């Protein structure tokens, strides 16, 4: 398969309603979509990255610039004949997190195109040692008022989902009200994780200890900035209470994992494709975590379209040993999608494989056009941008 063009789309995905956390209030997100075109074979492969300045330091512009630079490398697999070419190419790219969303988008587009050329789902290109036929996603709750949390909890309960991941912020009273509301709906029959997005300082973290105990919170995700001096003491208290600390923003690369393993504060990692640099890098991280006895979950970026949701589904199915799964929220979050399919879960959060070739989904050219702010087409014959 010869790749003739690479098109970089800068897109805006609007939400059905606001979804807030301590770092951002959002009604939309700006993502990057890469389209790989093999004209002779009539194949178009798609990949998506979710550049977030507060996670990897990327923006739409910086991610697009990174992708353009990657395509100009001598080892970019223009003549794609074997999956090893994609792995060798990705392995040659920077290990710095400031390129991770860009790498994810480009790698996934190549995988989607190659899978279509060989009539294989992308899961066929990975080891199946931990493969599972179905996964069970949890429900996500934003930083919001009592009424909004009540509505979402009732919807989640109706779907027979009891695994919850909830955003908390800096306001103790608001956090308490939200936790009260969750408890009033589920009556304690739920598995609750809270995600702080680094919003707490040490004083606020210790102030929340009674709430963490009372509401039987199982996992506290990224409560403080990585350099917070009292993180070690807070981690020790959490461990004594049987609560797991999970790293997210501070866990983007294999080097981050080595640091986390050495320090021992975090006992679980949130692995997300865009944050961690695509399949190749994410699975290297997961193998390292398995070897070092560190738990992990497969997560998602807020506002993934069907392209990145489909990629996330594949990673989830390849990791049957993950403790939790988040993602496939298309139907519940997006006003407009990129794909004909809504890559969403069913009752109980249950979701299985997407069985078509490549990522398993079909991208709608009209949907893509509707959300696209601008596109840059790169012809590989002369690497001239139009």
Average pLDDT over residues 60-73: 96
Over 70: is that where the pLDDT of 279 sits? Answer: yes
Per-residue model confidence (pLDDT) at position 188:
86
DSSP string, 359-374: TS--B-HHHHHHHEEE
98 and 140 in a single domain? The answer is: no
With respect to residue 18, please indicate whether it lies within any of the assigned structural domains.
yes
Q: What does the pLDDT look like over 115-133, one tens digit per residue?
A: 999 999 999 999 999 999 9
Q: Which domain holds residue 104?
A: 5-119+362-385
With respect to residue 152, please indicate whether it lies within any of the assigned structural domains.
yes
Over 80: is that where the pLDDT of 151 sits? Answer: yes
Strands 350-351 and 135-136: antiparallel
Total of domains in the chain:
2
**65-72: long-range contacts at Cβ-Cβ below 8 A with a sequence spacing of 24 or more?**
66/98, 66/99, 66/102, 66/103, 67/6, 67/8, 67/32, 67/34, 67/102, 67/105, 67/106, 68/8, 68/376, 68/378, 68/385, 70/102, 70/103, 70/106, 71/6, 71/106, 71/378, 71/380, 71/383, 72/383
Q: What does the pLDDT look like over 94-114, one tens digit per residue?
A: 778 999 999 999 999 999 999
96 and 214 in a single domain? The answer is: no
Q: Which CATH number do you get for residue 153?
A: 3.20.20.120
With respect to residue 357, please indicate whether it lies within any of the assigned structural domains.
no
């Amino acid at each position: 398969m010869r790749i003739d063009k690479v098109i970089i789309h800068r897109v805006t995905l609007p939400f059905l309603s606001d979804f807030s956390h301590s770092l951002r209030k959002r009604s939309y997100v700006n993502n990057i979509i890469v389209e790989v075109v093999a004209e002779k074979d009539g194949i178009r492969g798609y990949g998506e990255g979710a550049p977030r300045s507060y996670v990897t330091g990327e923006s739409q512009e910086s991610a697009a610039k990174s992708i353009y630079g990657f395509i100009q490398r001598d080892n970019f697999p223009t003549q794609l004949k074997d999956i090893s070419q994609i792995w060798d190419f990705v392995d040659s790219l920077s290990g710095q997190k400031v390129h991770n969303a860009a790498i994810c988008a480009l790698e996934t587009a190549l995988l989607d195109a190659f899978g279509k050329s060989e009539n294989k789902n992308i899961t066929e290109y990975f080891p199946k040692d931990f493969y599972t036929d179905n996964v069970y996603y949890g429900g996500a709750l934003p930083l919001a008022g009592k009424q909004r949390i009540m509505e979402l909890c009732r919807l989640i309960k109706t779907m027979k989902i009891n695994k919850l991941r909830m955003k908390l912020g800096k306001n103790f009273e608001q956090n308490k009200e939200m936790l009260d509301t969750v408890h009033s709906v589920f009556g304690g029959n739920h598995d609750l994780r809270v995600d702080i997005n680094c919003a707490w300082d040490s004083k606020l973290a210790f102030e929340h200890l009674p709430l963490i105990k009372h509401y039987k919170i199982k996992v506290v995700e990224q409560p403080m900035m990585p350099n917070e001096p009292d993180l070690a003491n807070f981690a020790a208290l959490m461990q004594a209470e049987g609560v797991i600390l999970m790293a997210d923003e501070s866990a983007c690369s294999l080097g981050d994992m080595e640091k986390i393993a050495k320090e021992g504060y975090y006992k679980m990692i949130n692995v997300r494709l865009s944050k961690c640099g695509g399949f190749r890098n994410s699975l290297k991280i997961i193998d390292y975590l398995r070897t070092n006895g560190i738990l992990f979950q497969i997560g998602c970026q807020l506002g993934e379209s069907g392209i990145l949701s489909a990629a996330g589904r594949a990673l989830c199915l390849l990791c049957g040993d993950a403790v939790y799964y988040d993602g496939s929220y298309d139907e519940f979050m997006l006003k407009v999608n990129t794909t004909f399919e809504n890559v969403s879960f069913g009752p109980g959060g249950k979701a299985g494989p997407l069985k078509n070739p490549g990522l398993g989904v079909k991208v709608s050219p009209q949907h893509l056009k509707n959300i696209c702010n601008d596109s840059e087409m790169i012809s590989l014959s002369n690497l001239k941008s139009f």
